Structure 1
Amino acid sequence: MRKACCILAVTACVFVAAGEIVCRLIDALGDSQALAAEGEAVDLAALNYNDDKPLPRRRTPGEFRILTFGDSYCCGTVKPQYTLQGAASRSLAEAGARTRLVNFGEPGSSFAHYRKALAHWSGRVEADGLMVVVFLGNDPQETAWDAADPDQPVNAVLRACPVSVANDRKRLTAPPHRFGLRLIDYTTALADFVLAGAYVETGAPEPFSPLYAPLPPERYLRQTANFAVAGEAARCGELSKGWQALAELGRDLERLGRQRRIPTAVVLAPPEVAARPGLWREAAAFSGGQIERYDPWLAGRMARAVLGQAAPEVAVLDLTPAFVCAAGRGDMLYPPREIHWNVAGNRLAGEAVARFVGRQWLGLPEAALPGGDACLAAAAPPLDEAPVNACLLAAGQVDGGKALAANCPACRVQ
């Protein structure tokens, strides 16, 4: 009897060990195969990108394809058709220009990750243009404050998410790490899928995705105060490392554009605090800051100046004027206590991008340009060069040992 029990125990251990090995191989091989994209198409659903259309690796005849990169602002917290990419593609299609903006946005990423994703996907997927969405609220800060892990692999956050950001479906290929054994994780996830259904009730209102996450009031105001740092002239030196990282990103984009003979661009996305002065007053009161210390235009002008010096061939589209204009007329572009755009915000950003692409990259006549919103023509107020030059000097040697403020024509561009 004892011998039989021992044999049974050993057999069970062998089966568990074998099952654990298989599950861990599924984890490793599934990720590597999807990322390798060696077939005719990239399985965006398997990688959990917020893009629900098949993506052939070769260009589609008659279609202008743009690969877009960035963090959660690029990815979006709404379903695919309501994202910046979805809105821009529709606007261009209505103007008679068949265009697809592919969404390679990754939440929880920053400059180092954008560069990795650019190198990875531009080497595997043919494109007619490359575009990076830079969030002015935290991209410079995250790098300067070492808040983003530069060693994070491409698409790590989305691949690990157990729920599809595109359709709320449970992902059996990415069960949560709840137990010590992946075999138990997979078994539990399968049981939940069968017994509780294939979809998750996220509680997010339509058309938001599982990434929609309103913050408690105090945390929201604390986050808002952090988002304002790039617009505070007194803290420019603190963000030197972040502006250096933006310069490196720009140089990567410029090099890729030259190699592939395609246009490249950076889209500057403003935080809500830049568009809504009342929010800054709340955040300043909460954090004990001075209201006058924040300049909503400084972050965008700094980014444009850095890119103008480091990568002059990369086009820059700053969305701040359009968002300030739209918020000023009463448009709600962000959900309450949520730091990302709602449908209206994504639509405004998408139409601005579509208008930029139509004019700059597709050469559409002015009368045929998409986007009829009057705020798309909004401009920044007259530029005072002194704060920008002072900020550039404080940021230090960010371009091959030369201070950017010296001989920087881009600093004068609004």
Structure 2
Amino acid sequence: MNQNKLKISRKLPIKAIVNNPAYKFLSQALIIAGITFLLTEATFRIYHRINPTFVFYNRSYNRWRGRPHAQDFDFQLNSHGFKDVEFTQEKPEGIYRMLGIGDSFAFGIVPYHYNYLTLIEKQLNSQGQNIEVINMGIPGLGPAAYLALLINEGLVLNPDKVLLSFYIGNDFIDNYLTSLDRKKQTFYTVAFLQSLIKLQTQFEGTVYNPNNLEYQDDHPTLTDESYLDQVSNLSRMFNIRTNDGIFLGFFEDAMADIRRIKEICDSRNIDLTIVIIPTEVQVNKQLQSQVIDILKPDDPQGLDFDYPNRLLRDRLSQYNIQYIDLLDDFRQVSQTTRLYRPNDSHWNIAGNALAAELITKHLLTNNFNPDGE
């Protein structure tokens, strides 16, 4: 009898919990939250499939691609989502067609008329050439995506030349970062919340908004803390004394894609020129000092800000690929002129203008022969 009472007394607390109004409310709330999460997740996935957005990972190179005919300051993207005027697939008679392939540098955060690819076309034609430069820049790309873009969309345009912009700041590691993004993203809902948090905590007053028709060349993009943290992390590639070989692995991965691009261009009789774009910490002495203070290398000379450029130049020469390294000229001009947007890794108007001037000069003096003579 006592044992039965004991068993009943042990069951009573469970019944009491189940019948408790607070428990019922909590369980119902959890069920509703679960259903809401699943519906939200399904909605995000369907939306992303129909209308891809950078917030969610995309296996293709189109994650950050512009929407066809979208407004970009006072300019409208073309029907391909590129920051350029419309072009025909068939190359016009007598035109020397050049493809500008790159990431957000090629796409540009400045208005279309200030973009260095736009300026290159204008400057070459002012020299009596008959040039068409097609800007195929898509933000967020890396070497593997450059290769895919050339194969999928570039070759059909029958180009005479490919001008590929290689950004020192992240093009060595973009293939790795892309695979990392693919592994990290499990739920679209979580990615959306993370994106909101990032926008609220890392960016200054107004985020880059191409729908705003007024471009502000001196307005910072990131907060001081976020930008310095970003630059410091990327600057570990310059510490050659403690380099454990990881960067060299990234380097070889990127070079495999560049070599494949070279092979494809050679097979189609297409000229290839690589534009080596420096990151701001390579040309800005003040920013270099801040990075050295943060990384605190045993020997400040151990941070060699020319190191990746030397590796890249040597390998491009080995592959017989023509290149132009903008580092020295940007370093010199940066002593008196700001060439990057504040707290932003991208060129401002002056940076784009200098790049266009240097690249145009290089093209006109290095076997650039549109007439085939």
For the aligned pair, the TM-score class normalised by the smaller chain equals 0.5 to 0.7
Larger Rg: 2
The amino acid of 1:307's aligned partner reads L
Kindly tell me the number of residue pairs found equivalent between the two proteins: 283
Distance 1:218 1:125, change over 3 A: same
**After superposition, where does 1:71-110 map in structure 2 within 5 Å?**
71-110=103-142
Amino acid at match of 2:257: L
Who is 1:264 aligned against?
A: 272
How far residue 273 of structure 1 moved from its aligned partner, in angstroms, is 0.8
Secondary structure, counterpart of 1:134 in structure 2: strand
Identity of aligned residues (%): 22
TM-score (norm 2): 0.67
Aligned residues of 2:101 and 2:135 also touching (Cα < 8 A): yes
Aligned to 1:342: 348
Deviation at 1:213, TM superposition (A): 6.8
Output one character per residue of 1:66-89: Cα deviation in whole Å (capped at 9) or x when no partner. Answer: 112121122211122211201211
8 A Cα contact 1:138 1:226, kept in partner? no
Point out where structure 1 has 5 or more consecutive residues left out of the alignment: 1-21, 29-34, 36-41, 153-176, 179-199, 365-414
Per mean C-alpha deviation after superposition, the further-off stretch among 332-341 and 294-303 is: 294-303
The DSSP-based 3-state class of the residue aligned with 2:169 is coil
- Structure 1 residues 150 and 263: CA distance shift in structure 2, 3 A: farther
RMSD: 3.4
Equivalent residue letter for 2:91 = R
- Kindly state the Cα deviation for residue 147 of structure 1 after the two structures are TM-superposed: 1.4
Match of 1:147 in 2: 177
Q: Which of 316, 325, 329 does residue 318 from structure 1 map onto?
A: 325
Whether the aligned pair in 1 keeps the contact of 2:99 and 2:134 (CA below 8 Å) is: yes
1:333 aligns with 2:339: yes
| AA matched with 1:335 | R
Distance in structure 2 (CA, Å) of the matches to 1:326 and 1:203: 30
Instruction: Give 1:277's aligned residue.
Output: 285
What amino acid is aligned across from residue 100 of structure 1 in structure 2?
A: E
Say if 1:218 and 1:237 are closer, same or farther in 2 by CA, change over 3 A.
same
Corresponding residue number in structure 2 for 1:362:
368
**Alignment partner of 1:113 out of 142, 145, 149:** 145
Residue type of the alignment partner of 1:86: T
Cα displacement string for residues 277-333 of structure 1 (whole angstroms, at most 9, x for unaligned residues): 221101222343453222222111111122233x22x211111011011112x0110
Q: Give 1:263 deviation, angstroms.
A: 0.8
Q: TM-score, normalised by structure 1?
A: 0.61
Counterparts of 1:283 and 1:25, CA distance in 2: 40
Corresponding position: 1:291 with 2:300: yes
Q: CA separation of 1:345/1:306 partners in 2, compared to 1, >3 Å: closer, same or farther? A: same
Q: Which runs of 4+ in 1 moved over 4 A?
A: 22-28, 200-205
Is 1:353 aligned to residue 362 of structure 2? no
**Would the aligned equivalents of 1:65 and 1:128 in 2 still touch at CA under 8 Å?**
yes
| Mapped partners of 1:333, 1:56: distance in 2 | 34
Aligned positions of 1:8-407 closer than 5 A = 27=51, 45-51=78-84, 53-143=85-175, 146-149=176-179, 205-206=214-215, 214-234=221-241, 235=243, 237-289=245-297, 291-309=300-318, 311-312=319-320, 314-328=321-335, 330-363=336-369
CA distance in 1, matches of 2:93, 2:87: 13
